[in-house]
Every structure is written in C-alpha cells, then in structure tokens.
Amino acid sequence: MTPDLRHITQSKRVSVGLDGKLYFSHVTRMDSSTNYSCLAAFSRIRHMTQKTPIRLKILTNGQLKNRAPKILTTQGGTNNPIVVLKGEVLLLECIAEGLPTPTIHWRKDGEDSLKYHAVTESFGKILKIKEVTKADQGTYHCEAKNQMGSTYRSFHVHVEEPPRWEKQLESSIQSVGSEIILNCSALGTPEPEILWRRNGILLDDGTLPDNHQRMGGLLFIHSLQVSDSAVYQCEASNKHGTILSTANIDVLDIVPLILTPEGRTYAAVWGNNVLLLCEHFAFPLADITWYHGKRIVHPVNGRYTIDEHGSLHIQQAEAQDAGSYICEVSNSRGNASVMANVVLREPTRGYVSPEHPWVKRGHSTTLTCHIHCDPHLLPSRTIKWQKDKQELREDDKRIHVKSNILTIYNVSWDDAGTYYCIVSTLLDTMTAEAHVTVRDVPMPPEDLRLLEKHERSVLLSWTAGDSHNSPITEFLIQSVKSMEEAGQWEDETTVPGNVTTVQLYLSPYFNYQFRVLAVNGIGKSAPSVASEIYSTPPAAPDKNPNVVYFNTDSPDEMSVKWEPLNSDEHNGPGLEYQVSWRLKGVETEWHHRKLKHPQFIIKDTPAFVPYQLYIQAVNNIGSGPEPEVHTVYSGEDNPDAAPFNVSVSMVNQSIANVTWMEISQDRVRGHLAGYKIMYWRVKSLQDGKTHHGQRHVLSFPGRRDWAIVPKLHPFSEYQLCVAAYNTKGDGPESSTVTFQTPEGVPEQPQFLQIASSDRESFMLTWEAPKRANGILTNYVLYYQMINESNGIGNLSNITIANPNALSQKIPRLEVGTRYKFYLQACTQVGCGKSATEEGLTLAQARFSSIPFSPSRTPAFAAKVPAIAYANAPHSLSSQGWFIGLMCAVALLTLLMLVACFVQRNRGGKYAVKEKEELHPEVEVQSVKEQFF
C-alpha cells in the first residue's frame, strides 16, 4: 500500500500473493513509484509494523515484446504436496507473468468441472474450498494462458484429520467369574495408534494381568474377579492430536437387593397396560419369577412380558388380572421378594352429540358430552373442552361451558372446527370429539361477463362465490329489461350448481341487464353485481295474436277481439294489428283495416254466412309471420220456414208417433238446435166435452224428422204443430194437425164396500171409475173364501153386464166365513185395476181397502159404517149361551186384528195376498213394451 495507507488496487495484472509479495504480470510506466510500502498487522494485539518503502523504477528500451506465461508462485509442484485438515479451508494460488496478461483456469483430475463449493478469488488466481472433505482430495491443475502460449502447475492435495471416536468405552457392573470385552475404535488420517491404561498405568507386555488380552482396539478380560474393578482408559493419537475414552468396570458378588417398596398398589382401568415394578440390585445377575396368587405368571400369548429390569408388563388388562402379585429375585448368593396389588376399574367412556352438527351462522348450537365413569373414579373426574386442540377462550362471552354441556351463541365462521371433550380421572383420560360446520347462504357470484353477443341471444358467464359449507344446488339468473323506463328484476331461468354459463335468449328492441343469485340448502345469496347493459336491435314481430274471439250475437254484425301482444313481443316501435276479412266463396279480394286496439266490428253482415278472417301484427320494421286464416259464420237469426207434411200415428192409446219433413239448411239461418212439438187436448170423446187444455211443448235436439209424444189421455181429441229452432230462437210453426187417441182400460172403481150382510150373503156397493178411458161395457166381480188359517179358496166371478150398475148382492155364501172381493171396470179394450173389500158373514167387522178421497162427501161417508152386523133374531140376544158366543167371537176377532196388524207391519204376506198374485189384474201394457 501507499505511505498514506491506501491499498494498491489489484487486477488481473497486479496482485498480492498468499506469501505477502506484490506480483506484476508485466509492468507499465504507471507502476513507477518510490513509495511501495508493506505493512504487517497483528489483529490480536492490535499492532501494525511497516517495512521501509520500496522504490520501483520502470526502464524503457523502446519496443515492447509479447511473451508466453510463466508461473511466479512457488506453491504446488510434484515434490511439494499440500496437506489440509478435514473441515478447514483450502487455498491454492497460481500467479503468472506474461504479455499480454495471462488468464488462469482451474480443473481437477477425474472431474469435468469443479464442485459447486469450490470458488475462485483474486481474478481467478486463487482456488478456495471451504470445509474440506475427503472428496476434495486429489490433484488440481492451474493453467496460465495468453496468445503467446500457456503453462501449467499441478497441486497434489492430501486431506487428513485428527483422531475421532468410532466407538468409545462404556462403564458397566460385572459379576465374579464373567467376562467382558472393552471395544475402543477410532478413525483419523493418518490412522490413530491405540494405547490402553488401567488406573492410569499403561498396559504393555510387562504390566498386562494374566486374565487380560490386548488386541488393538479390543481388550479381553476373562474370569473377572473383584480385584479387576478399575478405571480403564483407551488413548487414540496421530500427528494431528490425541483423544481419550474412560470406563469404570465394577466386579461385584452380592445377595439380591430389592429396591421397590413392599405392598405397592397399582391401579388401572380395563384395557390399559399395567407395569408392576421389581427394581433390584444383584450380582451375579438374578433370575426373576412373578406369581399371581399361587400361580406362576408365564410370559405367554403376548399379554405378559418381563423386561430386563424384572418388571412385569400386563398388556390390555382384564378383570381376572386384578389381585396380589409377588416378584421373587434369586441368584447364587441368595434370594428376595416383594409383593404388589393390582386394582382394576371400569374405563371412562363417552361421546359427544350431535357428532357432526351444522349450524347456520348467527344461530346457536349445543354440544353435550355423554360420560360413563367408574363410581370409584367419579371424585377425581374432570371435564375440559378444547377446540382444534386449543383451550377455549375464557373471555369469549358467546361460549358458555357448564360441565359436560358446551353452548355457542351467535355462531361465527371462526367457530367451525373440531371440539374435544376431554374427561380425565386418576387412572385414564377419555377424549370424544364433534366436528361443527358453520353454514350460511352462499356469497354472491362474481365476475359476470356477457360473451357471444348476438341479436337474439347472449352467453352469460360468472364465477361462483364461497358456498359457505353448503353445496350450491343451483344458480338463479334474473334479468331486467326496459325500453325507456327502468324495469323490475324478474326470474329468467335456473341452472344446476355445477354450471357457470348459460345461453339466454332475448327479445328485440330492449335494454338488458343480468344478475345471478346462488342457492344452497340454507337459502339464496344476495344478488351479484349487475352485468353491463346490452341492447338488442328492433325487428319485425315474431308472432301474431294467438287467441281470437268472435261475437256473433247480432245477425247483421260480427265483433272480433283478440289477445294483444305483450310488450316483449312488439320487437320494435309502432306496433299495430292488421285485420283482413272477406266472404268465403263469394269475395276474392280482402278488406283490410289497421288498428292499435284489439277489437274490430264488421257491420252489415248477412245472417249466418261464412267469413274468412285473419289478424297480423305489424310494426315500423315489418310484418309478422303469415297469419292463420279463421273461418267463422256471421250472427244467427230465427229460422224463417216451418216443417211440412206433419202426420201423426198412434202407437197405443197414450203414445203418438209424429213425423214431418225438415226445413233446408239455408232456411235455418244458424245452427239447427232441433225441433219442437206443441200439442194440446181439445175434447174428450167419451162425453164430448170441450177442453181448453194446457199447451204442451216437447223439444227434440238435432236433425230429425220424427218424435214420440207420450202421456196422452185415451179416447180424446188432440191438436199439434211442429217448429224448428236454433240458438237464436224458434221458427214459424207448421200447420195444425188434429188426431184422436183410441180407447183404453178404465181406472179402478173409486171404492168398493159391503153395504149389508146376513148369514149367507153380502150386498156390495161401489162408485164408477173417475176416468173410464172409453165406453164402459161391464163390471167383473171376483170373490174367494179366506179360512181362519189364512188359507184361500177357489176364485169365483160374476159378470155384471149393466155398465151403470153400482151395487150387487152375493148369495149362497157359507155362514161365519170371511170373504174377499175384487171389482174391475171394463171397456171393449179390457178391464182396469181392481178395488178390493173383505167381510165376514154374521156379525163381523169389515175393513175397506179403499183409500180416502177428498172427493167423497160427508153424506157419502155416512153410508159406510165402520162395523156391519148380520140380521140376527132379537130373541137370541137374550140367551146366555148366545151372549157368551158373541164374547168369544169378539175376543177372537180382536186377536186376529192384532195378528194381522203385526203381519202387515213386518211386510209379510198371507194367503189371500198370494191368491191375488196368482190372478193378476188385467192392465194396459207399458209404453215401453208397446213401442220398443
């Protein structure tokens, strides 16, 4: 450095060697100086010594000549190997002179390149390796090269190390008569020399005892005696250092000594391991025997083991393992024993419920630790709660712990995790856990983008937000569309929870914005931020009104209405509806009218003629698609023609068949609803009396040319007419047709009664039928006997030829016998229904079956006594036997009345009724039988 203590700048040309010399690869005029100084610094004593300044003068002799490199330093070479200790720093120096300045390159034999920890310093002139290892040993080469040539220097590096232990001595206690091998091995370069010492005295051939044998790093001692107890030392040394290893060898011969206290009690729970100690001191080494009660414990089946210290290990203790144990220790000098007790308790068990609860954020949850503990361990039981293996925060007021119950209020995201219930007793610890999952509605979707924009569609994409521990099941896409004023958000569509794009179809002429909501099991998220506004261009309408209504209530005009298109379907400005119509089959040109409102009236229409009509939507851009053409009839009017050729034929005395010729369709003037028959009774053919009867109307729907008129009075004169009708009303009536109904069978006589009776006959009276339905020709009277057991006799009949007769005497009857009578009125068609009556000869009550009729007058009722008696001689009434007979008859009659009343109330039949069924009355067949 310079006298002012400034270091000389080093470069490829100028450098300071490891030997402290200043080297120049070649000199220049600038190197001339009179003050080159060398300073030696002693850092420990903080002292610096300066040598006398050196003067360097550069001589110039004209032209400079280049020259090949030549190495200036003396380090290295074949006869100068370099020794370095393992772990120290290796420095190899190679400084060369030459012109131009040589460059230095390093390499090692057997390697393509230097290892990563080998670095160069001082512009490549020094090769430095930190913490040298055996792998760094070898030959290194330095090459100095310039354009004039090159030169080499080799460095033979040897890596050595001081001694280090591979295996050291270990102290031990030995018994008398045993043998021991002391092993002492060391590593180092050069290889260390091993020396043995006993109590500090070197063991060589002159001092080695007879029972000792030395073999390098091994020392054998046979047949140990108490006198062999000593401190043994192993010494390893080479030129780089010395190391020493020491061991105490004690040779003993004593009776076993047990160190474990007597009567110790070991408590454990079922299933846990139990360790019974038997610590002892004995030389020679002792044999260990364990007893459970009087039974020797054999270390079998893996549950029982005895370790090198004599302790007994019981794996997964069972109930039968409880009790007293004895450990016996014995050797050649004697024996000793110790007793121990094992007490087993039921293990602590438990669980936390619910095990996997999930709770909505902001709500509360409760965890309960259910515990089963041995009663002997209850006093020592403690319960502690942890979350994720960490103690619960005592300052968190939301968390409330009450023994085995943990409640968390106002649950937050931080409360999610695994909760542990830790139950500890003197003997065991039980841990139960539950995993709490906090859920909430999802976070709103993010990053809404509109992709693939088209006139009628757009692709919407988004990124799902956090599901908050409840899987997203679907996304709800909402849209708001408007033309000028802001609209309302409406649901557009939904997609599954694993889809984040959707193709949306749009209507023309709208401004659209979209947003997305995520849905999970808890509910809907808040809406996402709305997308950008996307405007669709206007277009012609895509559709025409679908629903068209026609009102044809008036015969001369037709009203047309339709459902207007909603705003989404306008597709552009200026929406109108073009109504087009024409008479079908008559007009070829269409009539057109454009309207803004969905209603139009076509006036001056003929009644019920077909029109063709269509409605088309149009706007300022163009017209909608080709519309559907509707065919509709104009309004109906009443038919203007009457049926003709009306005729009537009788099916029977009360049913008529009416036929006619239908009117043509063009005279119907609408949809034919059917035909109506108007009929009325003019007079009775029996008495010729004229009737101004009610006018009856029968309607028959559909197209037809005949109908049936039922329920006519027999033997009467009727008139009828026929008219067509449609939904508008009735047409004109046809010409009136007069017809007559034939005779029928009469109704039953209005009543039949016994006017008087004697021992052998009855006098019957009756009243003629209310409706004879023809000219009466005669009466037929049937009668039969009924005995006391309700048996019936033969049926007899009397024909009464006088149709005007109202009474008849029945002679030659048996005394004291009951009879039943049937009376029918007859015409030439047949006989009608019967009126009936019963009676008993002598003095017997009779019972009329004729129902009460309001037409009977009080005078008539006076003629029908409730009880009739036969004409018995008055002289008999004074006889006692006759009085008794009458009392018996009266009693018998009373009993018969009661029995008859009960029988009739029960719905039963008696023999007379059976007889009536055997002889049915002659009646007119039903309309159904006669006609169909």
Is 916 a residue whose pLDDT tops 60?
no
| Confidence at residue 42, expressed as pLDDT on a 0 to 100 scale | 79
| Confidence at residue 466, expressed as pLDDT on a 0 to 100 scale | 93
The predicted model gives 417-421 an average pLDDT of 95
Confidence of residue 302 (pLDDT cuts 50, 70, 90): confident
Is 527 a residue whose pLDDT tops 90?
yes
Lowest mean pLDDT of 101-105, 265-269, 874-878, name the range: 874-878
User: From CA 361, how far away is CA 355, in angstroms rounded?
Assistant: 18
Is 913 a residue whose pLDDT tops 50?
no
Place of tokens 């259910």: 370
| Helix (H), strand (E) at residue 789 | none
Is 322 a residue whose pLDDT tops 90?
yes
How many other C-beta atoms can be found within 10 angstroms of the C-beta atom of residue 865? 14
Q: What are phi and psi of 242, to 5 degrees?
A: -135, 140
Calculate the alpha carbon distances from 926 to 25, 773, 919, 931 in Å: 154, 16, 19, 9
Confidence of residue 920 (pLDDT cuts 50, 70, 90): very low
pTM: 0.43
The b-or-e profile of 751-767 (16+ CB within 10 A means b, else e) is: bbbbbbbbeeebebbbb
pLDDT in tens, 660-684: 999 998 899 888 999 999 999 999 8
* Long-range residue pairs from 590-595, CB within 8 A, at least 24 positions apart, any chain: 594/618
What percent helix, strand, coil does the chain show, rounded to 5? 10, 45, 45
Rounded to a whole number of angstroms, the distance between the first and last alpha carbons of the chain is 151
Lowest mean pLDDT of 120-124, 221-225, 296-300, 490-494, name the range: 296-300
The predicted model gives 325-334 an average pLDDT of 91
β-strand partners of 150: 145
Is 878 a residue whose pLDDT tops 60?
no
The predicted model gives 460-469 an average pLDDT of 94
How many other C-beta atoms can be found within 10 angstroms of the C-beta atom of residue 849? 14
Supply the mean pLDDT for the chain: 86
The predicted model gives 527-548 an average pLDDT of 92
Look at residues 846, 841, 749 and name the one whose alpha carbon lies nearest to residue 800. Answer: 749
| Confidence at residue 365, expressed as pLDDT on a 0 to 100 scale | 95
User: From CA 185, how far away is CA 194, in angstroms rounded?
Assistant: 8
pLDDT in tens, 699-722: 999 999 999 999 999 999 999 999
Place of tokens 């006391």: 788
| Confidence at residue 294, expressed as pLDDT on a 0 to 100 scale | 87
Look at residues 379, 481, 370, 469 and name the one whose alpha carbon lies nearest to residue 426. Answer: 379
| Helix (H), strand (E) at residue 639 | none
Confidence of residue 4 (pLDDT cuts 50, 70, 90): low
Joined tokens for residue 125: 């002139």
Strand 241-252, strand 172-175: pairing: parallel
The predicted model gives 873-899 an average pLDDT of 67
| Confidence at residue 909, expressed as pLDDT on a 0 to 100 scale | 39
| Helix (H), strand (E) at residue 862 | helix 858-862
Percent of residues, the chain, with pLDDT higher than 70: 91
Lowest mean pLDDT of 69-83, 363-377, 814-828, 878-892, name the range: 878-892
pLDDT in tens, 599-647: 999 998 888 889 999 999 999 999 999 999 999 988 888 999 999 999 9
| Confidence at residue 394, expressed as pLDDT on a 0 to 100 scale | 77
Percent of residues, the chain, with pLDDT higher than 90: 59
User: From CA 536, how far away is CA 571, in angstroms rounded?
Assistant: 9
Confidence of residue 143 (pLDDT cuts 50, 70, 90): very high
Is 845 a residue whose pLDDT tops 50?
no
pLDDT in tens, 684-702: 888 778 877 789 999 999 9
The predicted model gives 794-821 an average pLDDT of 89
| Confidence at residue 55, expressed as pLDDT on a 0 to 100 scale | 86
| Confidence at residue 881, expressed as pLDDT on a 0 to 100 scale | 59
Is 849 a residue whose pLDDT tops 60?
no
> Looking at per-residue confidence, does 485 or 250 come out higher?
250
The predicted model gives 783-797 an average pLDDT of 81
Instruction: Supply the Cα-derived Rg of the chain in whole angstroms.
Output: 70
The predicted model gives 112-137 an average pLDDT of 88
Is 32 a residue whose pLDDT tops 70?
yes
Instruction: Look up residue 622 and give its DSSP letter.
Output: -
**399-402: strand order across its sheet:** 349-353, 365-372, 405-408, 399-402
Is 906 a residue whose pLDDT tops 90?
no
How many other C-beta atoms can be found within 10 angstroms of the C-beta atom of residue 409? 15
Is 175 a residue whose pLDDT tops 70?
yes
Is 857 a residue whose pLDDT tops 80?
no
Q: Evaluate the omega torsion of the peptide bond into residue 190 and state whether it is cis, within 30 degrees of 0.
A: yes
- Domains annotated on the chain, with CATH: 14-159 (2.60.40.10), 168-252 (2.60.40.10), 261-345 (2.60.40.10), 349-439 (2.60.40.10), 446-534 (2.60.40.10), 548-633 (2.60.40.10), 644-739 (2.60.40.10), 751-918 (2.60.40.10)
Confidence of residue 901 (pLDDT cuts 50, 70, 90): low
* Long-range residue pairs from 494-502, CB within 8 A, at least 24 positions apart, any chain: 494/519, 497/464, 497/471, 497/472, 497/473, 499/475, 500/445, 500/461, 500/462, 500/463, 500/464, 500/475, 501/451, 501/459, 501/460, 501/461, 501/462, 502/459, 502/460, 502/475, 502/477
Residues in the chain: 932
> Looking at per-residue confidence, does 708 or 333 come out higher?
708
Place of tokens 């239908």: 662
Alpha helix positions (H), 591-706: 665-668
| Confidence at residue 902, expressed as pLDDT on a 0 to 100 scale | 57
The predicted model gives 21-50 an average pLDDT of 83
Is 876 a residue whose pLDDT tops 50?
no
